[in-house]
A and B are shown apart, each in its own frame.
Chain A
Amino acid sequence: MNYWKTFTNGFIRENPVLVLVLGTCPTIAVTTMVSNGIGMGIAATLVLICSNIVISMLRKVIPNTVRIPCFIVVIAGFVTIVQFLVKAFAPELDSALGVFLPLIVVNCIILGRAEMFASKNNVWASALDGAGMGIGFTIALILMSSVREILGAGTWLGYQVLPASMDPIAVFRLAPGGFFVFGLLVAAVALITKGKVSHKEASGCMACPFSAQCAKASEGGAK
């Protein structure tokens, strides 16, 4: 296995947010400011690396039928640890991220990597995969929060970048701006990487651990 490729896969080619379209909720919710985006990225990366390592170590112990609940418990444990760390060392970040900090538990990037990678590969590869995917998530968050903070507040990481005479477009920091910027970024990545990213995965939900269930549900269930 090519470790370098495992590590860099998540950056762009299989970027969890911009290509696989996972973890949409935190992406849209916390990217109003670059500092929040970076904080969320680091928190999720920590959880991702740790949970990937532990799940990879336990991959032969966990029975297949109850694997999803087991993964969730492992992930929730690490999320609790990260919650403690953030509360202790970055209380402003804790109040800025609010409910989305505990919601890392149900972030499908983390569950998705546990299901698709860590439960099938050795510890070292899983750790690298977690780090790579976490960095990809952080890159996406920084990109998106940069667009939203510059256009919506005229600042970047708190520094004034647009001339003060220019009125910022406040809607970019509100809910509609989040959906809009995210849509355009996904489209931009699809346009730039055309042909390079596999189309099966680029179609959105396919990478989600629940894609099969979800597809069944969207076909109307009983019918």
Chain B
Amino acid sequence: MAKEYLALILGCILVNNVVLAQFMGICPFLGVSKKMDSAVGMGIAVTFVLVMATAATWPFYTYLLQPHGMAYLETLSFILIIAALVQLVEIIMKKYTPSLHKQLGVYLPLITTNCAVLGITITNIDETYGYFQSLVNAFGTGLGFLLAMILFNGVRSRIDNAEGIPDALKGIPSALIAASLISMGFMGFSGLIEGIFG
């Protein structure tokens, strides 16, 4: 059992990395990766919201939408739950843990429209994961996002200082090509889970 969850987490982080293999959350990956502090902050905030959102949407779908034949409301209700949840977390954080709010608060409004959050909550339903399995999947995906942000921050700061990049490639294009190379590196992890746990 524990082995199964460990395999799921490792798979989320390395093999099916949310940014580099599933193409979700590329906006913050490109937009908030210039500084290490903000890359880590964003990664932690996304992990936190992902787990919270999964904790809320999974029971909502399984016990309310599905038994009453309203499964088609999935998209609409999930985005509303996520938006409300992010607001709520922000308010609670501001009131009870102001220091944490100071560090993560600025990232929270960005997360509502982060497609990783909506994407993973829907994937959990599509893959018919159980409740705990869904939470583990969300947590692992968040860690994968954090890892991608940290790695990309390192590459990014090198690119920003590099000289001799042609004008047309400056900024986003060179960042995308760097992301392509990191993603190619991550392809090397395919088969890892079967190798260790198989």
Interface residues of A (CB under 8 A from B): 21, 24-26, 28-29, 68-69, 72-73, 76-77, 79-80, 83-84, 98-99, 102-103, 105-108, 111, 171, 174-180, 182-184, 186-188, 190-191, 194, 203-205, 208, 210, 213-214, 216-223
Q: Does B80 contact A (CB under 8 A)?
A: yes
Residues of A within 8 A of B103 (CB): 221-222
Q: Write 30 A-B pairs (CB below 8 A) sorted by A numbering.
A: A25-B25, A28-B23, A28-B26, A68-B112, A72-B79, A72-B80, A76-B76, A76-B79, A80-B75, A102-B122, A105-B79, A105-B118, A175-B21, A175-B186, A176-B183, A176-B187, A183-B173, A183-B179, A194-B167, A194-B168, A210-B113, A213-B109, A214-B27, A214-B32, A217-B106, A218-B33, A219-B38, A222-B102, A222-B106, A223-B37
Does B169 contact A221, Cβ atoms closer than 8 Å?
Answer: no
Interface residues in B114-143 (C-beta closer than 8 Å to A)? 114-115, 118-119, 122-123, 126
Q: Nearest Cβ distance between residue B138 and chain A, in whole angstroms?
A: 14
- Would you call B80 and A73 a contact (CB within 8 A)? yes
Q: With an 8 A cutoff between CB atoms, is B55 at the interface?
A: no
Does B31 lie at the interface of the complex (its beta carbon under 8 Å from any beta carbon of A)?
Answer: yes
Residues of A within 8 A of B184 (CB): 171, 176
In the bound complex, what is the Cα–Cα distance between A219 and B176 (angstroms)? 21
Secondary structure call for the B interface: helix
CA–CA, A25 and B167, complex, Å:
25
Is B105 close to A, CB under 8 A? Answer: yes
Nearest Cβ distance between residue B87 and chain A, in whole angstroms?
9
CA distance A178 to B183 in the complex (A): 10
Cα A174 to Cα B23 with chains together (Å): 11
Report yes or no: B168 in contact with A187, Cβ–Cβ below 8 A: yes
Tell me how many residues of B have a C-beta within 8 Å of chain A.
62
Give A125 to B114 CA distance when docked, in angstroms. 29
Task: State whether A175 and B187 are in contact (beta carbons under 8 Å apart), knowing that A183-B173, A213-B109 are contacts in the complex.
Answer: yes
Assuming the contacts A187-B169, A213-B110, asked whether A175 and B183 have C-beta atoms less than 8 A apart, the reply is yes
Q: Which chain A residue shows the least CB distance to B35?
A: A220
Contact between B31 and A218, CB atoms less than 8 A apart: yes
> B23 — nearest CB in chain A belongs to which residue?
A29
Point out which of B23, B113, B118, B123 has the most chain A C-beta atoms below 10 A from its C-beta.
B23
| Cα A142 to Cα B109 with chains together (Å) | 32
State how many angstroms separate the Cβ of B119 from the closest Cβ of chain A.
Answer: 5
CB neighbours of A177 from chain B (8 A): 180
Question: A190 contacts which chain B residues (CB < 8 A)?
Answer: 167-168, 173
Query: Are A205 and B31 CB-contacts (below 8 A) given A72-B83, A223-B37?
Result: yes
Contact: A187 with B173, CB < 8 Å? yes
Chain B residues lying within 8 Å of A176, measured Cβ to Cβ, are 180-181, 183-184, 187
Q: Are B76 and A210 in contact (CB under 8 A)?
A: no
CA–CA, A218 and B106, complex, Å = 9
Q: In this assembly, does B192 line the interface, its C-beta being within 8 Å of a C-beta of chain A?
A: no
A179 & B176 in contact (Cβ 8 Å cutoff): yes
Name the distance in Å between A39's Cβ and chain B's nearest Cβ: 16
- Interface residue? B72 (CB, 8 A): yes
CB distance from B120 to the nearest CB of A (A): 9
Closest to A77 in B: B76
Smallest Cβ distance from B73 to chain A, in angstroms?
Answer: 7
Kindly provide the distance from the CB of A95 to the nearest chain B CB, expressed in whole angstroms: 11
With both chains docked as a complex, state the minimum distance between the C-beta of B71 and any C-beta of chain A, in angstroms. Answer: 11
Quick one: which of B37, B102, B106, B176 contacts A213, CB cutoff 8 A?
B106
- Other-chain residue from B38, B119, B186, B187 in contact with A99 (beta carbon distance below 8 A): B119
Query: Which residues of B lie under 8 Å from residue A26 when comparing CB positions?
Result: 23
| Contact, CB under 8 Å: B168 / A25 | no
Q: Contact partner of B72 among A84, A184, A214, CB < 8 A?
A: A84
